[in-house]
Amino acid sequence: MTVQSVFRLGLHDKQFAWDRWIAGRLGHRIQTEERRLARRELKRLFGQVVLQVGGTAGFPLIASSLAPVKFHVVFGGDVPKNTHCPVILAEDNLLPFPNDSVDILVLQHSLDISAHPHQVLREAERVLRPSGRLLLFGFNPTSSWGLRKLISTPLSSLLPWHARFMSRTQVEDWCRLLNLVPELSRYAIYSLPIGRGRVRKLFKNIEHKMALREWPVGAIYCLRAKKERDVYITGKQGPLGRLASVGKTLKPAVGLRRKPALRLVQKQDG
């Protein structure tokens, strides 16, 4: 399987591949570290509405957020009966939220697996309110994991080795074009992309030293950006038009302009 063929897959297939990989040893390592990074940033940010796009249903990075309203957009897969927040099935480049309606938006590897990463980032900018924050997680091509991707074969697992590894600097350039001003970035996971064994134990000390210095060769990075736009600019609405009240209902306040791309599949308990 080639990178090009991966991006021709439907979102549901890629969601299934991601869920299967994240349940493994390497995927669990990624999820644990990204949850730690998200918790570190979210405790410093305040807002009423927090949205995550991407990741596995039932295991959102935004679980630690104290925001009263939280949503998690996924693209398919199995949804647990009990979730930390409402789970919505939608398209990554057509988020069913009004303009300027989200305070904090988390993209968990959405650019890495999307067939149209530019549009995903545009949608993120559209739904973020002015001064809202974007937290973006991506795979770092200049890492041992990036090297592993380069030598991947058609028999390698679909994700992450056939995903798009975008450099942090490239993503920052895209953000600036959309008035998303980068504020900080962090790297994590300096271990080799192997589950366990003697080789990994030999590199433990080196990994620890690199982690303390946060060298830009970690397997993943977390980029935080601020939306700098003080004037409301009329743009396209989400595929459901304006939501009557984000956090209280998912019904559109205007007539549908196209086939709905949203489906609430799990409400928050209570």
Q: Hey, what domains does the chain have and what are their CATH numbers?
A: 3-266 (3.40.50.150)
The pTM of the full predicted model, rounded to 2 decimals, is 0.81
pLDDT at 194: 78
Produce one character per residue of 229-262: b if its CB has 16 or more CB atoms within 10 Å, e if not. Answer: beeeeeeebbbbbebeebeeebebeeeeeeeebb
Per-residue model confidence (pLDDT) at position 10: 73
**For residues 172, 26, 38 and 89, what is the CA-based torsion angle, rounded to 10 degrees?**
90
| Model confidence pLDDT, tens digit, residues 5-59 | 455 567 788 888 899 999 999 999 999 999 999 999 999 999 999 999 999 999 9
Is the distance from CB of 55 to CB of 61 less than 8 angstroms? Answer: yes
What is the SS3 string spanning 114-181? CCCHHHHHHHHHHHEEEEEEEEEEEECCCCHHHHHHHCCCCCCCCCCCCCCCCCHHHHHHHHHHCCEE
Q: What is the pLDDT of residue 121?
A: 98
pLDDT at 215: 84
Q: What is the pLDDT along the chain (270 residues), one digit of tens a residue?
A: 444 445 556 778 888 889 999 999 999 999 999 999 999 999 999 999 999 999 999 999 999 999 999 999 999 878 888 888 999 999 988 999 999 999 999 999 999 999 899 999 999 999 999 999 999 999 999 999 999 999 987 666 778 998 899 999 999 999 999 999 999 999 999 988 876 666 666 666 677 677 777 789 999 999 999 999 754 444 445 544 444 344 443 433 333 333 444 556 655 555
